[in-house]
Amino acid sequence: MYEIGSGTSADPAASRRAGEDEPAQLTDRQLLERVTSTRARCVGTEVDPDAWFPVATRWQQARAEAASALALCAVCPVRAECLEFSMRQWGEVGRHGVWGGLLEAERAAVREHWLAGVSVVRLLVRGHEGRQSVEVDDETHKI
């Protein structure tokens, strides 16, 4: 079993600024503005663009390919907004690549919870605490 998002990142809920809206309360435009702002760790970095779009079909290999991108996501203050935007834009750009610190297969696995009304902040907190298990590549992983 593997923990997605494990490492040096702080609790996702604790990294939210006081008074910030829950990502679910924001419009698509507000989300886009936040995930493309200078607060987003991915903006203006020199991370190889391929790191954001791993091509490996196995979970461990894909996470290894995306390691530099995932490291930025782990400490990004707009990670929850990024994940919310990707879930809303699933039929467009949100399905592919790394968003909110999760690979496509990981987001697909938690998407049903999001569709059922679980907030992305809660999904990320559950993942941080190792309480969320998902099926990826016919293996169970903790996120």
Which value, in Å, is the radius of gyration of the alpha carbons in the chain? Answer: 14
| Three-state secondary-structure class, residue 13 | coil
Residue 52 DSSP symbol:
G
CB 137 within 8 A of CB 105: yes
Amino acid 126: pLDDT: 72
Amino acid 84: pLDDT: 96
CB atoms within 10 A of CB 108: 15
Amino acid 125: pLDDT: 84
Residue-wise pLDDT for 112-130, tens only, equals 999 999 999 998 887 554 4
Has residue 33 got a pLDDT over 80? yes
